[in-house]
Amino acid sequence: MSKTILITGTSSGYGKAMASLFLERGWNVIATMRRPDASLFPPSDRLKVLPLDVTDSDSIAAAIAEGVAAFGTIEVVVNNAGIGLASVVEATPDHIVREIFETNSFGVFAACRAIIPQFRHQGHGTVINVTSSAAIAPPALVAIYAASKWAVEGFTESLSYELASFGLRARLVEPGYAPTTSFTANGGDRMQGLIPADYGAFAQACFGKMANYPTAYCTEAEVAEATWRAATEAGNRLRYPAGADTQLLSDLRWTTSEDHYLARMRAMFGPELQPA
């Protein structure tokens, strides 16, 4: 029998690529999004397109229940839904900070709480939480976004120990920067006015460095493949970096000294520090 995966945030970008890949490889797919649009995927008896808002616990529970009713079990849940933000910390109001955390962090926590009892009852299951290369090595102007993703990194690592006692898994997929996704476009309205004029030269220099990335950018296909490995591989691996950029940053963070890491990050992504 086909295994079943539930993926949040499948209307575009990484989530859509994940759903398409798992469908192609014979899985049942519960593709969820806030405003369901079945036309995004070819018709299939192995596909359910359902509404799910990760900031609404009732919506999460309903999607899980409908998915189980349709396919019998859910083997994997991918918490992919997220929103981006580029901003200066001092100019970012509380309501924007809370909006980012409600989706990127608290929504992940809520979905995990909702599915874990189902996994324990059936005796198997994997949670895959999608973070970001910014949760490994954050550049400038993403402090709030990075914080929301770092929260999920720590949450998932700790959760993996809890779930292992029941034979369940929690894993991380860490995408890099993918200009082909709608990450920037979706956050455009939210980011208006969050980079004040006093930071203009600094921001311009930072964005210029991002436009001349030291590696290839990440692609949706690479993230989908990393998610496939996280869903299907045996063993105790926790983190699945996706894309050459994430691999570069992961190597810098985990295999070099702090001094070397910071010097390289400043050279790649930040303007020269001003003298004290």
Beta strands in the chain (DSSP E): 4-7, 28-33, 47-51, 76-79, 126-130, 169-175, 239-242
| CA neighbor of 33 nearest in space, from 55, 52, 14 | 52
Task: Write out the two tokens for 141.
Answer: 């102007």
- The one catalytic residue in 145, 177, 213, 240 is 145
Bridge-partner residues for 239, per DSSP?
172
| CA neighbor of 72 nearest in space, from 64, 62, 60 | 64
Write the CA distances from 230 to 10, 144, 158, 167, 173, integer angstroms.
Answer: 18, 27, 17, 15, 7
Question: Strand, helix or coil at 202?
Answer: helix
Instruction: Check if 145 is active-site.
Output: yes
| CA neighbor of 173 nearest in space, from 213, 118, 135 | 135
Strands 28-33, 239-242: pairing kind: unpaired
Find the largest Cα–Cα distance for the chain: 64
Task: Write out the two tokens for 207.
Answer: 């964005």
Question: Strand, helix or coil at 264?
Answer: helix
Catalytic annotation, residues = 145
